[in-house]
Amino acid sequence: MAVTLEVPENIAAFLPTPTPEVWLVEACTRLPEMLIDHANCELKAASTALGFLYRYPDRAALVQRMSRLAREELRHFEQVRSIMDDMGIPFERLSASRYAGGLREAVRREEPHKLLDLLLIGALIEARSCERFAKIAPRLPERLGRFYGGLLASEARHFEHYIAFAKSECDVDEADIDRRLAELKALEAALITDPDDEFRFHSGAPTSPLN
């Protein structure tokens, strides 16, 4: 039975640019590569959450939430690895994608803008992951489609936490947050729509099949 899903309303409203259809078509033909990168993404997401604990240990609410988020991301990593093992797909470490690298390069160095950028980028990544899970799940084999559909609630929740902390932890007025978010949204939209020579879970429009 095919999985039927919709992108959550808050995610659809937050992201101005949808995933290109060409990426969805390509992803369905490259499931091993997508799963390998997805597993790497979950590890990196856990590492990102732990990074907040190391950088900002004095921020109690942020530390508690990011500690829980790291554990949840590691659980998702275990689940992806289990599916990969059942499908006979060996895990391998992958370098950062153009998407991750492009967003990371935009982070400002001075505080509180560094913290703000890290939180807003976290929100963008979680929102994009949620959107792609929702769009690709109905096209996948049933077990994998149901697994991806089951991730929507947690990704949407992570997105909401990142946005809430951007507003509560950075001592930046709302107009400045909105202005910076608009800049980062434009960068993120370009990264997922511009032609991309590399296929990854967050890559842009593939330049040609099986690159």
For helices 98-105 and 174-193, give the axis angle rounded to 10 degrees: 150
Domains belonging to the chain, first-starting first, are 9-202 (1.20.1260.10)
> Is the pTM here over 0.85, yes or no?
yes
Q: Which two tokens stand for residue 91?
A: 């895990």
Helix axes 31-55, 60-86, angle to 10 degrees: 160
| β-bridge mates for residue 195, sequence order | 205
pLDDT tens digit at each of 211 positions of the chain = 455 688 999 999 999 899 999 999 999 999 999 999 999 999 999 999 999 999 999 999 999 999 999 999 999 999 999 999 999 999 999 988 999 999 999 999 999 999 999 999 999 999 999 999 999 999 999 999 999 999 999 999 999 999 999 999 999 999 999 999 999 999 999 999 999 999 999 999 998 654 4
